[in-house]
Chains A and B, each alone.
Chain A
Amino acid sequence: MKITKRLLVVLMVLFLGVSSFVLAQERPYEGIRLAVALRSLPETDFIVSKLGEFELMTGISVNVVTYPEEQLREREVIDATTGAGAYDVIAIDSVFIPEFAKAGWITPLEPYLKPEYEVEDISKFARDLLSYEGTLYGGPVYSEATQLMYQKSLFEDAGLAPPQTMEEYEEYAKKFTQPPDLYGVAMRGLRGNGMNIYIWSEWLWSYGGRYFDENWNPVFNSPEGVLATEKYAYLLQNYGPPGVATYGWDDVQNAFTTGKVAMIIDATNFYTRIEDPTKSQVAGNVGYAVVPEGPAGRFPGNYCMGFAISAVGAKTDEEKKAAAEFIQWATSREMELDKSLQADIISVTRDSVFNDPEFRAKFGGDWLESTMESFRITNPNYRPLIEEWREIGDRLGIEVENVIAGIKPAKEALDEAAAYAAEVLKKTGKIK
């Protein structure tokens, strides 16, 4: 009896000691607290719902702070400029990576990457979007390109294939426009570097224009740029629904789901909403294709949202490591596959998920083909990856809206935006 009792005690002590040793081994970040600033999206909601697993695994306790889309960036800017450092990890739009990296507000993620993160698996354009001067700063939570979406039945009835060129796009837009029941196209008219400029840039590139020359002089007001802007405005003014000059992405989506619009060019992730029979009258009737080709080629747009380590919040080495740990967990291959298969999220950022048989079985067809092709050919500098982008893009957005609303001619509007851009670039020293 005595011996068994003693043995039992010894065994228990041993077991406790060993297990706490094992726990200590597996939870190297015990006691670290991370604050994550993000905006609520199906993608981030899903990640947040799995947080318990991460906390159990690592010992890190994560506090999520959610902001509405438009406030998130402001909060982060204010947090960084005041030096408050309330967040260790921030969700950030790809177009602001250069701005934040240049200001020293985010820490490179690259040195912290573990081999099992398989960074090469992340779509090339998404990696480029989240990098600054060749260094990766963020792990992608969400990525999209722009593509053409159209009502299949309309095209079948008319015996047409989806438009391959800008001319065909315009021709079909004209053909389908029968107000007030049907409009040829709907695209973003509302001002903003991520609104009208996100779609308008495709016209700029397609018609042979570009943003800057080799010396950073703004050249989007070139004859090509003016033509592109006139074409974009003409399409919306003549074949777009009334009010399209102030359409944001949500308005484009709403208009398309009512069945009153034949074709739209917008984000690949519209799929979820426009194929939902409870929210969309065109569900099951949507065709997907790569954006039409202009005289200078095909230029699908791109966007990505990532998690980055805040240099202002995560100051100590330990905090940085823990933040990197969180980002790699939240943007891992497993997480992405789970997101897609369990929550039908299709804003995929990894090639292996696109090629996953289960994923293909669920989301295959022309959407997948068109999305993969758009991801492959999209230019990371579709919207220039420079720290001055926000200011220049937003100003340009106002002027493009002016053209669409018929307030100013294209040349005058673009000249004004170019002059403003030159001023900004002079201030930062890009233009000597």
Chain B
Amino acid sequence: MLVADEEEGHCMRLNLGESYWLMLLPALIVLAAITFPPFFYSIYLSVHDVDLTKPYLGRPFVGVNNFITLFQDSRALNSFLNTGILVGSMVAIEFVLGLLIALLIDTYFPKATWLITLIIIPMTFPRVVVGLVWRIMLNPLIGVVNYLLQFLGLGAVDWLADPTMAMVSIIAVDVWQWTAFIVLLLLAGFQTLPKEPFDAAKVDGASGMDVFRYITIPLLQPVIVVALVFRVIDALRTFDIVYIMTRGGPGTSTETVDIFAYYIGISEAGRISYAAAVSLVMLFVTIVLITIFLRFSEQWQEEMY
């Protein structure tokens, strides 16, 4: 659990004593072995100028030059902005939709497991497949989406070649695939809620909205935090769907940080040092975001009780 419970932690220390660390050790060693070398190597890369396809240029030390370049490069800044827009809208829409669907299911069909199965089907598809299938369905000339629109008497839409619509399409496809993740977590959360507060509220004559606002949400808060953190981290790494559907285009209008780093580092150029710098900045932003978010939610929880 991300939000530590004081008492629970105390119990664990009592029972396990010294072996607490010993039992964590193997996992820590493996984690360190697979995360530290690449991490330190990317720091090394980011302060040098290494070009993969131009070994004859050597590997000069350039200090923070790559980071300075980043803040002057409109394409790089644009990719950070795009990632922000994508992650923000994807997670927000998925959360609201997911909460509504979870509430609906919990209230009206609490026993309908088939419904849950149905909802999580999109989640089981590999993202590359999702990207490809939607790309074909959104094709203005031969795709089924525009065919249906025209059938209904509406105009054809240039889904992936218009800068705004391309962004909307990607967000829509991600929402289509990952809303179910929020639904699943929240449903599991609903089922762990104690009954007593709800009965008490009913006796006190609280309205449905009040119950939701003052009992359901606070009790569900730890689950909500986990769901959001997971989705945000996952959404920050959005690559496959964008790469397959638009390649970051048209132009650079859907180019995310990951796609930009990939292009500049290995695909269109060999500027691996610059790509490492971009990735490090992205890592820094992610850590800061998640830390702020967790602090905020801890505070929130304290205020609630």
Contact = CB atoms under 8 A, between A and B. Distances in A.
A241 interface: yes
A251 B162 CA distance: 16
A407 B267 contact: no
Nearest to A193: B268
Given A390-B269, A398-B249, A398-B251, A405 B163 contact: yes
B45 interface: no
Contacts of B246: 246
Contacts of A251: 139
A190 B247 contact: yes
Nearest to B140: A242
B65 to A, nearest CB: 12
A127 B268 CA distance: 25
Interface in A185-222: 189-193
B250 A104 contact: no
The B contact surface, by secondary structure, is loop
Contacts of A77: 52-53, 266, 270
Given A102-B56, A246-B160, A246-B246, A408 B251 contact: yes
Interface string A389-404: 0110011001101101
Interface stretch (A167-175, A254-262, A297-305, A323-331): A254-262
A134 B140 CA distance: 46
B83 interface: no
B274 to A, nearest CB: 12
Contacts of B142: 254-255, 258
Contacts of B150: 180
B221 interface: no
B252 interface: yes
B57 interface: yes
A20 B89 CA distance: 73
A81 B52 CA distance: 6
A395 B75 CA distance: 11
A291 to B, nearest CB: 24
Contacts of B268: 193, 390-391, 394-395
Interface residues of A, number: 41
B160 A407 contact: no
A74 interface: yes
Contacts of A24: none
Nearest to A391: B269
B178 interface: no
Given A104-B55, A189-B161, A191-B249, A255 B141 contact: yes
B161 A405 contact: yes
The A contact surface, by secondary structure, is helix
A254 B136 CA distance: 11
Interface string B139-162: 111100010001000001011111
A322 to B, nearest CB: 26
A395 B268 CA distance: 8
Given A103-B55, A398-B252, A246 B163 contact: no
A164 interface: no
A260 B251 contact: no
A428 interface: yes
Contacts of B141: 241-243, 254-255, 258, 260
A395 B73 CA distance: 13
A391 B54 CA distance: 11
A17 to B, nearest CB: 51
Nearest to A195: B247
- Of the listed residues B57, B142, B249, B266, the one surrounded by the most CB atoms of chain A closer than 10 A to its CB is B249
A241 B266 CA distance: 32
B263 A404 contact: no
A81 B55 contact: yes
A191 B57 contact: no
B177 interface: no
Contacts of B140: 241-243
B259 to A, nearest CB: 12
A344 to B, nearest CB: 26
A245 interface: yes
B279 interface: no
Contacts of A244: 161
B82 interface: no
- Of the listed residues A81, A242, A402, A408, the one surrounded by the most CB atoms of chain B closer than 10 A to its CB is A242
B253 interface: yes
Given A190-B247, A191-B249, A428 B57 contact: yes
A427 interface: yes
Contacts of A428: 54, 57
25 contacts: A74-B266, A77-B266, A78-B266, A81-B53, A81-B270, A103-B56, A104-B55, A180-B150, A242-B141, A243-B140, A243-B158, A243-B159, A243-B160, A245-B249, A246-B246, A246-B247, A246-B249, A251-B139, A254-B142, A258-B141, A390-B269, A394-B263, A404-B250, A405-B249, A427-B51
Given A103-B55, A242-B156, A246-B246, 18 more contacts: A102-B54, A191-B251, A242-B140, A242-B158, A242-B161, A243-B161, A255-B141, A390-B268, A390-B269, A391-B270, A394-B263, A394-B268, A395-B268, A402-B251, A407-B163, A407-B251, A427-B54, A428-B54
Task: List the 4 closest A-B pairs by CB distance, nearest first.
Answer: A394-B268, A405-B250, A242-B140, A402-B251
